[in-house]
């Protein structure tokens, strides 16, 4: 039997363009409070993020960027509109299913590191695996590998108090990586770091996106940090003011 001819570049590009985005918000609105106290944090936003993108989300306080990140991270739900992951709607999933989905597919990096202070770096990194009921030996193996990936081999037993701020953020990134997530959501990942350490952390995130194909969505106020991203989305008054990404067909 004759083999099929190879797909043309045009057909491959068309197939990719038709693939559902990894993360997709459609007409998403978020309202807090009632009556005169109602606050529209998001006003019908549309946002698609594809596999492997490195996206910065910027805007002033109250612009809606943090609310959008919380929805993308399955930490909050829209008041109206739809959120899909790879084409599958997630709005109506139960809290338990959302928690399992979040733990399996999304890693989080926070400005304040959010590490257990009296617990070793390795044990901090293992936490998502504990929630996923991974066995002890496998947890340790994966935690040590994740710490090595962020340049902390040999520091597995150190507690946060024995580590610098940059090293603590590396532990937090290792924790985000340990479950092999498709997406890392980083909220002001360099906010507590000096400029030199900030640059090191951003180079690390760029490398993870480039080498592992991990999608990274980052909220930041710092233009020099945002410059590491390849796409820039600007929020203003609950709406997307501008987006340097190309529109999907």
Q: What is the domain count for the chain?
A: 1
Residue 73 domain flag: no
Domain annotation covers residue 77: no
Q: Is residue 36 part of a domain?
A: no
Kindly state the average pLDDT of the residues 119-134.
Answer: 94
pLDDT score, position 246:
56
The pTM assigned to this predicted structure is 0.86
pLDDT over 90 (residue 187) = yes
Asked whether residue 86 is assigned to any structural domain, the reply reads no
d(CA 208, CA 151): 12
CA distance 199 to 106: 23
Does residue 30 form part of some domain? no
Neighbours of 148 (CB within 10 A): 14
Considering only CA atoms, which of 60, 224, 187, 173 is closest in space to residue 111?
187
What residues pair up with 30 in beta bridges, in sequence order? 42
Q: How many CB atoms lie within 10 A of CB 243?
A: 17
Structural domain boundaries enclosing 190 = 54-63+91-243
Burial bucket for residue 195 (CB in 10 Å: 0-12, 13-18, 19+)? exposed
Whether 37 is covered by a domain: the verdict is no
Distance CA 143, CA 156 (A): 8
pLDDT tier, 216 (very low <50, low <70, confident <90, very high otherwise): very high
Which tens digits make up the pLDDT trace of 233-249?
A: 999 999 999 999 854 44
CA 242 centroid distance within chain: 20
CATH code of the domain covering residue 155: 3.40.50.300
DSSP-based three-state secondary structure for 14? helix
Question: Domain for residue 43, yes or no?
Answer: no
Is 235 inside a domain boundary? yes
The strand ranges marked E within 52-179 are 54-58, 80-85, 88-89, 106-110
d(CA 175, CA 126): 7
In angstroms and rounded to an integer, the radius of gyration of the C-alpha atoms of the chain is: 19
């Amino acid at each position: 039997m004759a083999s099929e001819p190879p797909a043309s570049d045009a057909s491959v590009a068309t197939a990719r363009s038709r693939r559902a985005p990894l993360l997709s918000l459609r007409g998403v609105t978020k309202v807090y409070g009632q009556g005169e106290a109602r606050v529209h944090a998001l006003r019908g936003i549309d946002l698609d993020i594809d596999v492997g993108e490195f996206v910065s989300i910027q805007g002033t306080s109250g612009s809606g960027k943090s609310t959008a990140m919380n929805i993308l991270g399955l930490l909050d739900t829209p008041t109206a509109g739809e959120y899909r992951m790879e084409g599958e709607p997630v709005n109506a999933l139960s809290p338990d299913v959302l928690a399992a989905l979040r733990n399996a597919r999304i890693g989080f990096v926070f400005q304040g590191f959010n590490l257990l202070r009296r617990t070793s770096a390795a044990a901090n990194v293992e936490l998502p695996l504990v929630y996923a009921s991974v066995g002890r030996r496998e947890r340790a193996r994966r935690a040590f590998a994740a710490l090595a990936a962020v340049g902390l081999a040999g520091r597995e037993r150190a507690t946060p108090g024995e580590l610098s701020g940059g090293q603590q953020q590396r532990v937090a990134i290792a924790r985000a990586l340990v479950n092999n997530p498709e997406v890392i959501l980083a909220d002001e990942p360099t906010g507590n770091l000096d400029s030199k350490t900030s640059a090191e952390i951003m180079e690390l995130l760029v490398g993870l996106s480039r080498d592992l194909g991990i999608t990274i969505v980052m909220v930041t106020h710092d233009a020099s940090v945002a410059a590491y991203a390849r796409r820039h989305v600007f929020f203003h008054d609950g709406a997307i003011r501008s987006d340097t990404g190309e529109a999907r067909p």
